[in-house]
Amino acid sequence: MRLPRDVSGQRLANALRVLGYAPTRQDGDHLRLTTQQNGEHHLTIPLHKSLRVGTLANILSDVQAHFGLTRDELLERLTL
């Protein structure tokens, strides 16, 4: 499945709530999310209007590795 090209940082942060991620702090335009599912895991997401494809791919790869999902499984859960 192809990555969407117009995902904002806030939209991604909202989509990650499905996996238990919740904001723990914000520093400027970067949001720190944490989940306790499958053990503790932290992500930092830039709250830009549109995330670069490489940035989005790196964040999703990190989530994939933590939950042991494939990219397609993760994208189906997140419904970006």
Note the pLDDT of residue 25.
96
- List beta partners, residue 74: none
Report long-range pairs for 33-40 (Cβ below 8 Å, ≥24 apart): 35/66, 37/67, 38/66, 38/67, 38/68, 39/66
Alpha-carbon span 19 to 31, nearest angstrom: 16
Question: Is the predicted pLDDT of residue 61 greater than 90, yes or no?
Answer: yes
Note the pLDDT of residue 16.
97
Note the pLDDT of residue 44.
97
| Per-residue CA distances from 13 to 23, 40, 59, 72 (Å) | 8, 17, 11, 18
In order of their start, the domains of the chain are: 9-78 (3.30.920.30)
Q: What is the pLDDT of residues 11-51, one digit of tens each?
A: 999 999 999 999 999 999 999 999 999 999 999 999 999 99
